[in-house]
Amino acid sequence: MLKIIFYTFIFWLLYKLIFDFIVPVYQSTKQVRRQMGDIQDRMRQQYQEQQQAQQEAQRPQASAKKTDKRDYLDFEEIK
């Protein structure tokens, strides 16, 4: 009889340990990892958008630096 009570108590402790501690810790860890992955994806996307915006901003500047010879007039120095 004492053996049955002992095994029941051990089984109850294992049950409480598994379902009140291990399972919630596993679920919260899984949720935190998922959220961190989402945050990293958003940051990566923002970085890529920022890089594209910088590249687009540099394109007009590059074409503005090119000068057309028609923009300049030749002047002769008068003495």
Q: Which residue has the higher pLDDT, 7 or 66?
A: 7
What is the pLDDT, as a whole number, of residue 65?
Answer: 56
pLDDT tens digits, one per residue of 23-75 = 999 999 999 999 999 999 999 999 999 999 888 888 765 555 555 666 666 67
- 65 occurs within a structural domain: no
Q: What are phi and psi of 68, to 5 degrees?
A: -95, 135
d(CA 52, CA 16): 53
pTM exceeds 0.85: no
- 9 occurs within a structural domain: yes
- 76 occurs within a structural domain: no
- 7 occurs within a structural domain: yes
For 57, the token pair is 């901003």
Structural domain harbouring 27: 1-52
Amino acid at 75: F
- 5 occurs within a structural domain: yes
